Structures are given as C-alpha cells and as structure tokens.
Structure 1
Amino acid sequence: METVTLSINGEQVTAKKGTTVLEAAQEAGIYIPRLCFHPGLPYEHRSEAIDTVYQGNWAVQGDARGKVFEGCRLCVISVEGQEEPVCSCETVVSAGMVAHTDTAGLQEYRKKRLSTILASHPHACLTCAQREGCAREPCSTNVPVNERCCPQFNTCELRKVAEYIGIKENISKYVYQSLPVVNDEPFFIHNYNLCIGCLRCVRACHDLRGVGALGFVYQQDKIVVGTVSPTLKESGCKFCGSCVEVCPTGALTDKDLKSVDRESVLVPCRNTCPAGIDVPRYLNLIEKGKFDQALAVIRQKVPFPGVLGRVCFHPCEQVCRRGQLTEPVAICSLKRFVADQDTGFWKTGVKPAPSTGKQVGIIGSGPAGLAAAYYLARLGHQVTVFESLHEPGGMMRAGIPAYRLPRVVLDAEIEEIKKAGVEIVTGKKITSLSELLEKGCDAVFVATGAHQGMKIGIPGEDLPGMMDGVTFLRKVNLGDEAAMSGKVAVIGGGNVAVDAARAALRLGAGGVTILYRRTREEMPAGAQEVEEAIKEGIKIMFLVAPVEVSSSNGNLHLQCLRMELGEADKSGRKRPVPVAGSEFKMEFNTIIAAVGQVSEIPDNVEKNGKLIKVEPSTLAAGRGGIFAGGDVVSGPASVIEAIAMGRKAATSIDKYLGGTGAIEEVLVPLEEPSFWLGREEGFADRRRVAMPAISIEQRRGSFCEVETGLSNKMAVQEAGRCLKCDLRLRIPSVVLPPEKWLEFNTLHVNNVPEKEGVYRLLDEHKNIIFIAGTINLRRDLEKHLGSDDTCMKKACYFDFEEEGMYTIRESELIQQFLQQHGKLPEGNDILDDLF
C-alpha cells in the first residue's frame, strides 16, 4: 500500500495514497466538522437533481435538473499554496501537503455556512441558555412549538456540530414553513420541516443500497428532498431503514424505536428467538442459494433444525417487520428447507474438544436434555442420557404426531447427537439423583419434561372412555393406539388438544369436536394448526365448558355450560364466565381432556409448586451439581424454549465442572455482507410463498407429513422477501465532535479549581456513571479518586464545569441522561437525585 505524509494542524499524518484529507484526518483522530459526509456512505457524493419529488402527495417541481449537489461545505480547510479554502471531503492528500482545519478564518466561514443551514431548521433551542437536559415541553421562554427543536434534541447530531462550530449571535429567526409531516407510512416518520438538505438519505438509498426511492430537486437554488413517487411503496422503497440511520436531524425517525436497545427493535426476529439464531443471516444465505451455509448458521445455535423447521411456534415470525407490509417471512419453513437439504457441510466446522474426564448424567431425552447433552459432549465431557421410554426424543416423539414431525427427521437429528459422543440409555427410569452422583456423575441435569395429563376436576372424568390428551398422544405416537371409532370430543384449546383431535380423526373417529371455553382469538394453539384442523373437518365449539360426565349404554354424556368472556385473568386472556341457565348435553364415544400437563419431580430437589425451583441465571437446583431445565422448570413450553434452556444448562454445568461455559461454535465463517439491495418494482407488495401440502383426502387414515416443503425456487423467492433489517446495524456510527473528557488521575484533578460546579465521571468506554454538583469540585473529585466504592473504581475519565447554581445544573444533566438512556447513571442514588 503506497502512502504519503502530510501535515494537518502541525501534526505529521501518514495516509493511503488517493484518500481525502477528511479521511486522513479522521484516521488520525483529528476532527473536521461536516454534515453531508457520513462514514457509512461512499465518499464520492456527486448526486444530481431530478425533475420532481414528492413530500407525501405534494409534488415539488425542480428547476435545475442534473445540477450536482455541492455539499454542506462545513469541512473546509486551508491548504498552504492555495488561495481559497477547499472541502476536505473532496481534496486528495499529496506528499508534503500542509493543511489547517481550524483557523479563525475557517471558523468564521463555517459559522456563516451553518447560519444558512439553520435558516430553514428550528434552532431556538440551540441558542437557549437552558437547553441542557431540557425536555422541550413546557418551554420556560414560551417559544412556539413549531419553532422548537425536535424530540431528537439531546441526541441530535446537528446540535452537536452546531455547538462545536458556534452559532452566530445575529442568526435570523426561524420561520415555520408548514411542510408535510408524513406519518402514515410503515416504520418511518418523515418531517420535511426538519430536513437540512444534506442528502445523506438520498445517497444511502441510491449509492449504498441501489434502490433510488428518494431524490432531490433544486427549487430557486434551495434543495428539496422527497420520494420519487407519492408513497414509499410506489417509490420502490425496501424499508431497510438506512435513510433513517444516517439522518443527522429529526427529519427521518423510526416510529417504533422507543427502546434504548436498538438491536432488539430493529432486528426483532433474532432478538426474539429463544436460542438466538441469526435469522437475517441464514435468510440472506438462502436467497443467495448457499443452502449448506445457511444450515450451518442455524446449527451454530441448535442441534434440531429439522424438528424446529416443522414444530417451532416461531416467535420470530410474530415480530417480523415484513409483516407490517404484507405477511411475515416464512422463517420457520425456510429453516426446514435447509435442514432437508443437509449435505453435511456444517460438520466441517466442528472442532472436537479433548476429554475433560468429567461425567454428566442427564435425565430425560427431550429437547432440553438432548440439547444440553450435545453441547456438553462437544466440550469434551462424557455424557449419558437416561430416558424412561423405550425410544429417545421425549415429547418430540411422544407428544407430537408424525404428520407434523416425521420420525425419520427426529431420528436423524438424534443420531447426530449420538455421533457427538452422547450415550442414550432408554427404558431406564431414574428415581434417585443421589444414586447418579454416587455412581460417578460429576453433575446431573434433570429435564424430565411434563408427561402427566391434568384432571379437569369434574364428576365422571374417570369413567371408561375418558383419557387425558398427553396419554392419548403418547399411545398414538408410540404405536399403542391402533384405531378409534364413533364420536370423539376433545376438551381444551392448546396444541395438545388440536394434535389429539387431528390424530383421532386419522385413527378412524366418525367425527371430532373440540370444546373450548374461550373464543378462537384466545386459543393458545398455533393459528395454522387450528386452521388445518378445521380444513380436515374437525368442529370447534367455542365458549363451552364441561361440568359433568355420565355414562349409559356404552356412551358418554357430557354436560356443558355456555360461557361468556369477562375480565382478563393473570394469563392476559379474558376469563370465561358461565352463562346462567345455559346447560346442555352432548353424547360421545370417547372424551379426551387436554387441559394441561405436569411433571414428575424426583427427590433431592427443591420444588416450586409442581415444578423444580432453580436459580434462574444458572438453572442450579439446590444441591451442588444438580441442575434442571425444560418443562420441569418452566411448565409446558415449546421445543425452542426447551432447547434454549438446554443451552443455558450446558453453559452452567461446564462452568461448574471447571470450564469456561463457552458453547458457541463457528461452523461457517462470517461473510462480508453486501450493502447493495438493488431496485425491485413491487417489492413491498410481494406476498408470502404458500407451503405446499397434501390434500385433505390424502390425510384421511394417514399419518404422512401434511406439509411437503418448499422447492429451491420457492425458498429463494421467500428468503428474498426479507427486509434485511440487520444491515442497518452495520452502518458505522457517525464521528461526532470531540468531547472534552480528562483522564481521571491525580495530575488532572489537581488542576481542578476549588470552586462550586458540576462534574461527571465516566468508565473506560466513556459511559457516564455518575453526575454530581458540589460546593468544591476538587475536594469531591479527590475523594472519588481514593474511593473503594465499586462504581467509583470504574471511573477512568471526567469532566467538570464551574457553576454557582450547581444544583440546578446537576438536575439538568441528570434529566438529559434520563432522556437519552431511560435510567439514572449507575452511581447516582435515586433518592438523592429526587430529593
């Protein structure tokens, strides 16, 4: 790499040949103010004006098509040998160049340019003496609302740059223009009154993403930004959010970004997955046709991709931002697709660990137990899983019918766990945890699931012909229930109830009716499973509750009550209330009660009602070396939630055995993502690809899998609907004007005056951890230097300002922190701050 050396503000700087002075200065830690420049955008900004843009339905005609954007010109510098200032973002470095970035003349020039920018942007708050920590409402100086700064005020980049440059005292008053505020579009609010024409959004959309939904025109030499058609959808927007990410003002803001945890809001699919699967990454790989790599990404977090691709309740889809446009991306079906395409590529990234000599016993071979076993074996521990049934899989085998989860899929993924070194002993019921520990196990993980059906609590429920849903499904799935006949009732509204109903129909029942005491909206069963049950001919009666069962002539008589919904209960669902005088009877040959399930708890563990009590962060269950997880701790949950608990247990057990607890695997190297999306007409309106399925006729009397899976073409097409929300997080943060922090040491503290004022302490990452006003700045800072307080020991930097009204100033700074972070600084006591 060829380099050149130049001087910037008297400092010798070495830079790559061909880079700009702005790039070189930034690399050297020298700040040059700018607004149109952003490190995440291409350095070359030769954007050209178009004919017409839209601000909502308002069309704005330009008068200078093709005119090139000149930039904000705040980054001007002087170069020795050149008479006029030049823009550092356009000036290429050269050997021996001598540049100055902060002369008096440059400072005055920037103030004039800033005044031009602020002339069309609210700025009363920027010049207000009480601006620090101000919530803007109410305004102590009664500035009209439209003339105040926006809600971004305390985090606004424009504000920080303006304060660094300095605002001219005679700046003209802002006049509100009544420009459109577009807030009826998905995801974003566009307030054109706050736009400063920096064109970052236009360049992000055009140059970075290749979409071109935004543009600009010149109108009487003034830049006007807008969409290329009246709506974002019509403009071809792909809703990636890059425009919002780079906006330096409040002109473009997110509707839903209220939380300080931006990633959880912007990439909710990944954040909501209990196991933390990198959903956007594997969808992107599928779109590119890299199916084996996509599977490897999934397998980095779970050992059951094929199972999850069929039975996961996919909370990721419920929060998928695509759903706000049309329907969510079929994330679960795409997981199944790549699992079914398994070439074994993911195994090339598996790195065997040396044996630790430690033995772990796991009770239960459900998703929690097998997940923990897999990761512990990968860490080098000797793992034995004990299963009371004669086949492994727990509720994956005993509770989920084959028409949803074919046994060949489950068996294949359990086989991979065995190949990892896990021994599975079936037909072995463990009744004593102490026995396992005494026989050489260094740790025990209890993951016995919830295999016992609950009683309804009504007279007659023990009559012949009555059974619970869990027991019925276990018999069906293990081959003990061969046929059924007559009319069948299933009581309940969860997945067990729906699975039992659909299984009964396949076994030959003459008719199946589900009785549920709430409405369809409150049914906890998956919406798709309910829809499929109805398609197959299963009748569902809502707002019905059983009160008694009797028997005569071999038939069961079920007495019921009509219900109505009252107030919400602790589950958040409306409580069913009996309707007086609404009793009625129905006759059935078999009644299956699927109203819940409980666990069988072994001895030697502390109980929490009908569950095992654990320490939530480690899943430790009382006695040393015993851990528990899955349904036996949480109550009946999902496969993915059980796997997540298995992962957590593996981490905790490994730490207990002397390891690091690091179970993360890299099965495929992280690829460099492409920021280019490209334009695609009609993208926003693309509908979800329907999952192919066998016909209703083919399902009768058969436990063949109902859904047949996506084709390669369908999978690539569906993955291409992803909004790629994660790419926004890869846009680098803008470089803000330098803060005036000092290292927190004796040398700097000794130079602080013994006067009234306010100071802030910061940790090594320059996060504020303490704010305080004081009558003596140096004395208080000296006290903190030698403090044993845990928080104060973190202090690495500080700043201070002299202020006679230090209590007011302290309150302003704390209010500012609260607005930015939603909480107090770590070291501030809430009672002291309030009183």
Structure 2
Amino acid sequence: MIKLTIDGKKINAKEDQTVLEAAIDNDIYIPNLCYHPNLKPIAACRLCVVEIEKMKGFPTACTTKVSDGMIVKTKTEELQNLRKNLIWLILSNYPKEVPPSSDLKKVVDYVGVNEILKNFTPKESNLPIYSEDPLFTRDLDKCILCGRCVRMCQEVRGVGAIGLINRGIDTFVGTTKDSSLKDSGCRFCRACVEVCPSGALVDKEKEEDKEKTREEKLIPCKYGCPAHTDIPRYVRYIAEGRYQDSLAVIRSKFPFPYSLGLVCNHPCEDECSRTEINEPISIRELKRFVAERDDGSWKEKLKIAKPTGKKVAIVGGGPSGLTAAWFLRLKGHDVTVFEMLPKPGGMLKAGIPDYRLPPNVLESEIKEIENIGVKIKCNKKINSTDELFDKGFDAVYLAMGAPKGWSMGIEGEDDPRVLDGIETLRKINFNEDVDLKGDIGVVGGGNVAVDIARSSLRKGAKSVKIIYRRTKKEMPAYAHEVEDALDEGVEILFLTNPTKIIKDKDKLKVECIKMELGEPDASGRRRPIPVEGSEFILELDRLIFGIGQSCDAEGFGVELNKKGRVIVKDEIQVTSKEGVYAGGDLVTGPQTVIWAVQGGRLAAKSIDKYLGGDGEIDQKLYPD
C-alpha cells in the first residue's frame, strides 16, 4: 500500500491509483466533471487540479499517480480561485438554469464562480434540442464538452454512434454521420445519459414512472418481472455466448427456467425499453433458449445449508409450493410437499396442455427439486393445518391454488354434458377418459378457455366454438394463443353469452344472446350488455365452462376474504394463524405462473426468518 497525505489526512492508497481515485476511496472530495471510474482520465475539465509538494504547477488529480510520502493540498486559496475561473468559462455559454440534480450543479455549488468579464454576453449558440428520439432528450446548449458521453459510447460500449463534431469553438457532440440516432447505430443503452454531468442528456419520463426509483426507471424489465430476475445480465450473457452463465442467473431466482421459457406471460417484455424504439426483446424466448442448453453446470455453485432441525409442510405441489420448497430446502430446512393429485406440478401439470408445456420438461425440473432433498407426497389431501403441526411440522405453507372451476348459474347447467373446464383439462393432462367428440362449446375468453378449445380439437372434436361476451380486443388470453386457436379451426363467437341450457336427448340446445359493450367495469374492460331480442340457439354435444376459478381453503383455520381467498400480510405472506403462510393463486386468485413463483419466493423468505434464518434465499450461481 502507498501512504500519502491529502489535506492533512493520512491515507492509504493502492499502487497505480491516481490521487483522485485515492481521494474517492477515502471519502475526500475533489471537484471534477470529466472523470468517471469506467473511463480513462483525460483531465479535460481541469477542475481536479491540486498542489503537490515538490511538484511544479497545478497537476490534475485524475491523471497524477500516487507515490509514497506524497503530500497533497486540494483547498488552497489559489486552487479555489483557479477553479472558480474554470467554472465561469464552463457557464459562459450555458443556459441560466443549471439542473438541480446534475453533477454540474453540485460542483458549481461547491466551488462557486468568479465573474471574470463583467457584462460579458456570450454568443447565442442556438443549438437544437432533440426531443423526437426515443428514450432520452438531447439539449446541446447544456453540453459542456466534457467528452464523457462520447468516450462511454466509443470506448466502453464499443458502439461509436456519437462523437465530437467540428473543431474549436464550433465543436459539439453529435452523431458521427450527421444522421438520426437510430440511423447512427445507437443501441439506446443510455450509458451516455448515465454519465452526462450537465443535464444535456436526460431520460424521458412517463407520468406513471415519476414515483419509481432510479433503478426501476433504468432497468424496467427487471422490475416488470415479479421475481425481479436480472434480465439485462442474462440477456448480455447470451449475447456474449455465455449460455450456462445466463441460465445460472435465471436459476438464482426460481427452479422453473424451462417451463417459464415456454408458458410465462412475460410481463418483463411489456416494460422493455426497446418498445419505444421498435419492439421488445423476446425475453421469454431467450429464457427458453438457454434452458434448452442446460448442461447442469449451475449446480456447481449451488449450496445446501446445514440442517436446521426445522420441518416445513407445503400443501400444494404447484409452482408456488415447489418454489418455496426449493428455497427452504436450500436454507437447510426439512421440507415435505403434500399434493392431492397423482403427480406434482399443480396447474403446470393439470391446467396447461402438453402441447404448450411438454411433460418431460416439467418433470425434469421437479426432479431437480427432489434431488436436493425435498420430499413430495402425491395423492395426499390435507384438510387442516392442525394435523400437520401435530406431526411435528414447525411451519406450514398453503399453496393449493384455485382448482375449482366456476359455473354460470344458468338454467340447465346441471346436465352431465355441461363440464367444468378446469376438471376437463386435468382429465386430459392425466390421460383420463373424457368424451369430447362432436360439437363442443367453450364459454370464456381467457387462457383456460382457449386451452380447452385447442385440446378438444386434439381429442377429436368435430367442431369447437368459443363463446365470449366481449370482443377480441378484450380477451384476456394471450394474443398468440388466440391466433393459434383460430388457425387450428376454432371458431370464436364474440359478443355472445349463454343464458339457458335446454336439455334434449340428442343435443344440448344452448340459448345465447348477443351483447354490446357499455361503460368500463372494475376490470377496466367495457361491460357487456344484452341486446334485447337477439336470442338464438346453439346445438352442441358438450358445453364447457372456462370462465374463472375459485379457491378451497375452508377448514384450515385461516382468515378468508369474501371470495374465499386467504388473507395475508403484504410481502410476508403470513396468515391469521401462527406459523401458517399462504401464497400463489390461493391468495391472489387465478394468476400467472411467474406470480405464483414470486408468492413462493416471498413465503420462503418469511418462513426462513420465522424459523430463525436470515431470509436471504437467493444464491449467486453465476460468475461476474
């Protein structure tokens, strides 16, 4: 280590450090504007000038290497005056108002400014403000030519979309080919915005983003993912050909990378910044891409903590329960999953058709969960938490999902040819007998309804009609799934709703009525209103309801809301009963897989703390 003194304070510095780097490491402030830790120092602003004993002149701290015994002064009167003159030069062509959050404002407030030429009126530059570009605005009048943005673009990012144009007093920062940012090869990574000290480059801010943190604004995809997966990192690793490292990033957050690569609703893509430029990055497809290439190397860094002696029971072997099981086992707890169906997976197994999620994919990921010591007991229905505590479990996580399908409450729905959609999908996925021959009608517009319709065709249905009371625009099902259904021959009757089922020996006669859209309801979608006198009859062999799902948590001794869902405290997933936690669809109602996974993550954190742990469940399975 190098020993030196700055402003009377004796400090240690690493060899090859500059005076400025040593000062920063020791919380000593030296004004600067052109320095950045990711860039080579060039001393362009000269604000970091210092005095060093036995050294002539005013060397810049950002380019001067430390040496043993060096004595540095940063606050002499001569230095202060020199810096004030430099600030005057910088501000002489700058608009009146310096952005309050900028580095420039910080330096100006610290240094002050000398009025070198009284009554000096700078020549108006009339440089343009570029506000039409995506993601950020360029106000060239506020540019102080520090060169940070140019060097970041050229040296660090290796893009070269911008550069210093012209020479002398006519110099400005622009695109290297005098073209738009899009045409210059700009990747819109916004590294230039990140390093701009003067407010010349500023992120555009949507009204809904104003309350977000700085990190949430910079990497919206990460915070669009309920599990807060480090998406920029795993996408970058893929670009670098580091596929296993990319998978390890994903694996650090949940145990279902391949399954989610196939069925996730990818809310991250809705937040992707590239949407402002052309279209979002195909984040889910990239997840699938690396999951398909899994060589198991992520396991090398996986650590299972020493046994804690604590036992956790998880009721429900779906994505939420299995995610909680994974992380709790890694924390050293003894974990048992109780699943009432013949195979684990919950709605991943029972509710998503094989053509969307092949059984071998799900089974291989569940096998990894078992491989670390999680015990899974199938065909085991749990009816109360008391029986689990009586068996010595220290904590219980309820994750039974929402397995009960809704009925419509219309006349004639008790006919055996009227089927529950959730139960129908379960029978199909478990290869049980289900007669779907003939003309099939499916009520609903969500993913369950579309899955039933497409599965019915695969089971030999003569025709399939989806009956939906709103328009295509309002369908909550994934758009690509709807298009696939149409391509396969499914017919969709929009603005149509069943009102009565007339029992007939040969066919179900389903009376329907046409609908029109009124004002928006609580979901934000326009409320369907019956059109008087528009009734008509559909003749069907089977009518299947895919209109919604409900939970079944009676008897567990926890507080429920009016919809029968378990009430928990936000983020910690704790119920009204000591030692009992809940999450996934049992709490939220029918949601997506990634939300169920996040419920399991939150529960694992809370349960680990409850059992005496630190609640830190994430492991870094990837290198830097």
TM bracket, shorter-chain basis: over 0.9
Instruction: Choose from 121, 132, 135 the match for 1:187.
Output: 135
The answer for the alignment partner of 2:483 in structure 1 is: 531
Contact 2:424 2:434 in 1 (8 A): no
Which structure has the higher relative contact order (CA within 8 Å, separation 6+)? 1
**Secondary structure of the structure 1 residue equivalent to 2:137:** strand
SS of residue paired to 1:528:
helix
Q: Of 374, 380, 388, which residue of structure 2 is paired with 1:422?
A: 374
In the alignment, which of 194, 197, 202 is matched to residue 253 of structure 1? Answer: 202
Which secondary structure state, in structure 2, belongs to the residue aligned with residue 235 of structure 1? coil
**Identity among equivalent pairs (%):** 48
* SS across alignment from 1:646: helix
CA distance in 2, matches of 1:652, 1:620: 8
Q: Give, in angstroms, the shift of residue 260 of structure 1.
A: 4.9
Instruction: Please give the alpha-carbon distance, in whole angstroms, between the structure 1 residues aligned to 2:335 and 2:162.
Output: 58
In 1, the alpha carbon distance for the partners of 2:537 and 2:409 equals 18
Residue segments in structure 1 that go unaligned for 5+ positions in a row: 46-70, 124-148, 672-835
Alpha-carbon contact 2:224-2:270 (below 8 Å) kept: no
The worse-fitting range, judged by mean Cα deviation, of 79-88 and 522-531 is: 79-88
Compute the displacement of 1:539 (Å): 1.7
Alignment of 1:173-572 (within 5 A): 173=121, 177-228=125-176, 229-256=178-205, 258-481=210-433, 483-572=435-524
Do 2:304 and 2:329's aligned partners in 1 also have CA atoms closer than 8 Å? no
Give the Å deviation of 1:10.
Answer: 5.2
The match for 1:608 among 549, 561, 564 is: 561
* Secondary structure of the corresponding residue to residue 76 of structure 1: coil
Partner of 2:34: 36
Structure 2 portions without partners, runs of 5+? none
**Corresponding residue for 2:92?**
119
Evaluate the alpha carbon distance shift between residue 422 and residue 249 of structure 1 in structure 2; reply closer, same or farther with a 3 A threshold: same
Does residue 155 (structure 1) correspond to residue 101 (structure 2)? The answer is yes
CA contact (8 A) 1:42 1:208 kept: no
Letter in 2 for 1:289: G
- The one-letter amino acid paired with 2:536 is F
- Superposition pairs for residues 124-143 of structure 1, below 5 Å? none
CA distance in 2 between counterparts of 1:569 and 1:531 reads: 26
1:44-83 to 2 correspondences below 5 Å: 44=42, 71-79=44-52
Query: Conserved in 2, the CA contact under 8 Å of 1:42 and 1:207?
Result: no
User: What amino acid is the match of 2:37?
Assistant: P
Q: Contact (CA 8 Å) 1:619, 1:628: kept in 2 or not? A: yes
> Which is worse superposed, 559-568 or 188-197?
559-568
- Asked if the contact 1:176/1:193 (under 8 Å) is kept, the reply is no
Q: Give the root-mean-square deviation of aligned CA atoms.
A: 2.4
Distance 1:487 1:207, change over 3 A: same
Q: Could you tell which deviates more after superposition, 466-475 or 166-175?
A: 166-175
- Taking a change above 3 Å as real, the CA distance of residues 20 and 423 of structure 1, as seen in their structure-2 partners, is closer
| Structure 1 residue 9, shift from structure 2 partner | 4.4
Q: Which residue of 1 aligns with 2:114?
A: 168
Deviation, 1:83, is 6.0
After TM superposition, give the deviation of residue 615 of structure 1 in Å.
2.4
Amino acid aligned to 1:633: V
User: 1:174/1:522 Cα in 2 relative to 1: closer, same or farther (>3 Å)?
Assistant: farther
Amino acid at match of 2:559: E
Q: Secondary structure at the match of 1:215?
A: strand
SS in 2 for 1:552: coil
Greater displacement, 491-500 / 305-314:
305-314
Q: Is the 8 A contact 1:515 1:541 kept in 2?
A: yes
Q: Which moved more, 1:185-194 or 1:293-302?
A: 293-302
Q: CA deviation at 1:315?
A: 0.8
TM-score (norm 1): 0.70
- How far residue 290 of structure 1 moved from its aligned partner, in angstroms, is 2.5
- Correspondence for 1:634: 588
Q: Does 1:101 align with 2:50?
A: no
1:82 CA displacement: 6.2
| Equivalent residue letter for 1:238 | R
Contact 2:440 2:543 in 1 (8 A): yes
Q: Which amino acid aligns with 1:162?
A: V
Cα pair 1:34 1:73 within 8 Å, conserved: yes
Cα displacement (A) at 1:241: 0.8
Taking structure 1 as reference, are residues 23 and 627 closer, same or farther at Cα in structure 2, changes over 3 Å only? closer
**Aligned partners of 2:11 and 2:304: how far apart in 1?**
47
Structure 1 Cα separation of the partners of residues 228 and 575 of structure 2: 24
Q: State the SS of the aligned residue for 2:514.
A: strand
The structure-2 alpha-carbon separation of the partners of 1:469 and 1:201, relative to structure 1 and needing over 3 Å to count, comes to same
1:185-209 deviation per Cα after TM superposition (whole angstroms, max 9, x unaligned):
1111011121122221111111221
- What's the offset of the Cα at 1:116? 1.9
Task: Kindly indicate whether the alpha-carbon contact (under 8 Å) linking 2:421 and 2:449 is maintained by their aligned counterparts in 1.
Answer: yes
1:495 Cα offset (Å):
0.6
Deviation readout 1:164-200 (Å, 9 max, x if unpaired) = 2212354635665432111111111011121122221
Listed one character per residue, the Cα deviations across residues 116-143 of structure 1 (whole Å, up to 9, x for unaligned) are 21121122xxxxxxxxxxxxxxxxxxxx
Give the Cα separation in 2 of the matches to 1:445 and 1:102: 61
Counterpart contact for 2:259–2:362, Cα < 8 Å: yes
Distance 2:158 2:512 in 1: 62
> Is residue 81–residue 114 contact of structure 2 (8 Å, CA) maintained in 1?
no
Aligned residues between the structures: 616
Cα gap change, 1:42/1:258 in structure 2, threshold over 3 Å: closer, same or farther?
Answer: farther
Contact 2:328 2:604 in 1 (8 A): yes
Give, in angstroms, the shift of residue 662 of structure 1: 2.7
What's the CA shift for 1:622? 1.8
1:357-413 residue CA offsets vs partner (Å, 9 max, x unmatched):
222222211111122222222222222222222222211111111001111111111
